[in-house]
Chain A
Amino acid sequence: MSAIILFTAVSIAQLMLAAAMAIASVRMFRGPRAQDRIIGLDTLYINAMLLLVTFGIGTGQVIYFESALVIGMLGFVATVALAKFLMRGEVIE
């Protein structure tokens, strides 16, 4: 019983997160300006991080948590660097 509930919930959640990633990448390709594309990238990696955590729940393995943490940290640094580039035109002054 609980296995069926979990399997259904995890599958639906993964589908929804995959749809969210697809939508974010649509905005990333279409975005009228560079700042829209950067927020699209930001949304894309946050949803990818959530997708990895749901994979962890689905398989019962803890290893997915660590890759989610790494994606979160790298994505943050990337977005900050891109925002800084938009502001100043260079990353390191």
Chain B
Amino acid sequence: MIQPAADIPVWAAIAVAFFLLVGSGLALIGAIGFLRLPTFYERIHAPTLGTSWGIGGVMLASMIFFTVSSGRLVFHEILIGIFVTVTTPITFMLLARAALHRDRAEGNGNVPDKQNKSQVATDVLVGSGSRDV
């Protein structure tokens, strides 16, 4: 299984192993925090460990490995890194807004109210649609 890797020098193997373990360790810690933190708004912080340096570590490891083993510069993994870094905040913002909206519509939890009165009124009118999902 590991046949093509045999010809890379030891320093590169150590670097690859280091970044790989840091990245996957951060992803695991993020998942553990995601399971153990008590409220939704705290849980939203945990997976960003995996999506910031979790992804970064694994991508760096992959870039070093393929660059050294193939003898030419390989850095297309950076596309995944850029893509995930740009898209994860969007999904989290949308989810957090949806969660805020639902919590406000149901009046549970201690979420801060909107300052703007007119928007609250429309939210109460619109927000009764998606309750018991």
Contacts and interface: CB of A to CB of B under 8 A. Distances in A.
**A and B bound?**
yes
Interface residues of B, number: 64
A12 interface: yes
Contact of A46 (B18, B47, B59): B47
Nearest to A1: B10
B interface, over-half SS: helix
Contacts of A73: 83
Interface of B: 1-6, 8-10, 12-14, 16-18, 20-21, 23-25, 27-28, 30-32, 34-35, 40, 43-44, 47, 50-51, 54-55, 58-59, 61-62, 65-66, 69, 76-77, 79-80, 83-84, 87-88, 90-92, 94-95, 97-99, 101-102, 126, 129-130, 133
Given A1-B10, A20-B24, A53-B58, 15 more contacts: A2-B5, A16-B21, A16-B24, A19-B28, A23-B31, A40-B34, A43-B47, A46-B27, A49-B80, A56-B62, A59-B2, A80-B91, A83-B91, A87-B101, A88-B130
